[in-house]
Amino acid sequence: MITRLSRRDALKLLAAAPAASALGGPERPALQAPPVARPLHLFQGREDRERRMKWWHDARFGMFIHWGVYSTIGRHEWAMENEAIPVAEYEQFAKQFQPKPNAPREFARLAKRAGQKYMVMTTKHHEGFCLFDTKTTNYCAPKQGPGRDLVREYVDGARAEGLRAGFYYSLMDWHHPDGARCATDEAARRRFVDYLHEHIRELMTNYGKIDILWYDVAWPLDAKGFESERMNEMVFNLQPDIIVNNRNKLDGDFSTPEQQITAAAQGRAWESCMTLNGSWGYHASDDEWKSPTQVIRNLISCSRDGGNYLLNIGPRGDGSVPDESVRIFETVGGWMERNGSTIYASDPCQPRRSAYAMFTRKGNTLYMHIHSWPGDSAVVAGLLVPVKSARLLASGEALKFQQDKLRVRVTGLPRQAPDKPLATIAIDCDGEPKQDQLFVRNQRERSKA
């Protein structure tokens, strides 16, 4: 059996490493930057955050792209760490990383066909290779195998397809000589933090307007060590309308549950990021793909709970996207063409109890997404508001319904589902749809003992 080391599990091992090495002698505390005052930046206010994030909340669905030297290796994006590949040996793969021209434009076209509204691509993953042009190192795309700025191609491709463009950037770096010793050597920390900050400055300066900054893996320092407050202040000064996540050990604008759908506390923005199979980067032997139905159900779950869904592709080193990824994305896109109005700009939805359906909401309309077609009628139990009308979303055909205190029963449905993978019934209510999930249990008439 093949055992995969997840990003989360690997980070736990990394976090334990300093303690293990200290068993032979006294443990040395990690060096950190001196405390700095927390600036109350103009763009950290609630009202301005709402302004910056409105498009993001409306979008609901985005594409994540993990692309780098590991894509040429084809054995998981953590190959350098998991296989203990020496830096000099790994650098040889960077020379083999030779994508076809304008490959990122194809990523953008696929995202558009899938119904996604924004993209986030790796500019530097944990391996330390920069896909952008930088003055800080020769270990970057223009000076290695690609021979050109891949981030420039990505931004241009996203804009050409009318999509928002975001940058992923890993603070952890397995290639930089100070990437680990920065935790115990102040001079190393200073060099490493300056290196990272300069990358962020270049990314925020050289590519026009950028919509999202998606930090990842703030290891081995804390927020003070990375000088994250100063980093974010620079970001907002250079990109006043940008949205920033929470993975540089600050709260940021939104939370980032990984490989799970977990809504944040009420009022807190969140985005669930997920792979299509078991890895983020291209893994040639991993064929454990999610089905289009599962992807759509995940998207519905995120939208129902007021969050976003960031779904990943892992292109090959030549820039081609695996056929199965394309098939899944295009199937999802076909469903979104017919049902996107139930996802984009949707509102948090309280009703959720059903054996064969999921729900989203927009205003006073409840959308019943049926994954297991029930036959000629469908029921929503415990709905607490009067229903005004019901219709099949795919055709617009009006449907009959009966409502009593326990349930709404929509009748006259076709025997077979009118849409795949999920068919949708729109139920217009006289007020915001609310469901008492215990109403039937509590209120049904019972037989006498």
Instruction: Write the CB contacts of 358 (distance below 8 Å, at least 6 apart in sequence).
Output: 297, 300, 301, 304, 352, 368, 369, 371, 422
Domain tally for the chain?
A: 2
- Strands (E) across 332-436 are located at 357-362, 365-370, 377-381, 387-392, 398-403, 407-411, 423-429
**Residue 59 belongs to domain with CATH number:** 3.20.20.80
Whether residues 86 and 234 fall in one domain: yes
* Cα–Cα distance for residue pair 143/426, rounded to 1 Å: 54
Would residue 8 count as lying in a domain?
Answer: no
Whether residues 436 and 305 fall in one domain: no
- Buried/exposed 388-418: b ≥16 CB within 10 Å, e otherwise: eebbbbeeeeebebeeeeeebbbeebeeebb
Task: Give the residue ranges of the chain where pLDDT is below 50.
Answer: 1-40
Whether residues 149 and 279 fall in one domain: yes
| Amino acid sitting at position 230 | R
Whether residues 223 and 122 fall in one domain: yes
| Domain C-terminal end among 307, 342, 377 | 342
Rounded to the nearest 10 degrees, how much is the dihedral formed by the CA atoms of 22, 28, 33, 37?
Answer: 100
- What radius of gyration do the chain's Cα atoms show? 24
Would residue 192 count as lying in a domain?
Answer: yes
C-beta separation of 131 from 184 below 8 A: no
pTM of the model: 0.90
- Per the document, the length of the chain is 449
Residue 42: the pLDDT is 53
Residue 442: the pLDDT is 82
Whether residues 280 and 374 fall in one domain: no
| Domain C-terminal end among 342, 376, 411 | 342
| Amino acid sitting at position 191 | R
Residue 421: the pLDDT is 97
Tokens of 59: 């979008």
- The answer for 427, left when phi > 0, alpha when psi is -120 to 50, beta otherwise, is beta
C-beta separation of 392 from 425 below 8 A: yes
Residue 267: the pLDDT is 83
Would residue 200 count as lying in a domain?
Answer: yes
- Strands (E) across 110-177 are located at 118-124, 164-170
Provide the residue range defining the domain that includes 77: 45-342
Whether residues 158 and 229 fall in one domain: yes
Whether residues 310 and 196 fall in one domain: yes
How many CB atoms neighbour CB 55 within 10 A? Answer: 15
- Beta partners for residue 272, in sequence order: 309
Residue 448: the pLDDT is 73
Whether residues 271 and 317 fall in one domain: yes
**Residue 370 belongs to domain with CATH number:** 2.60.40.1180
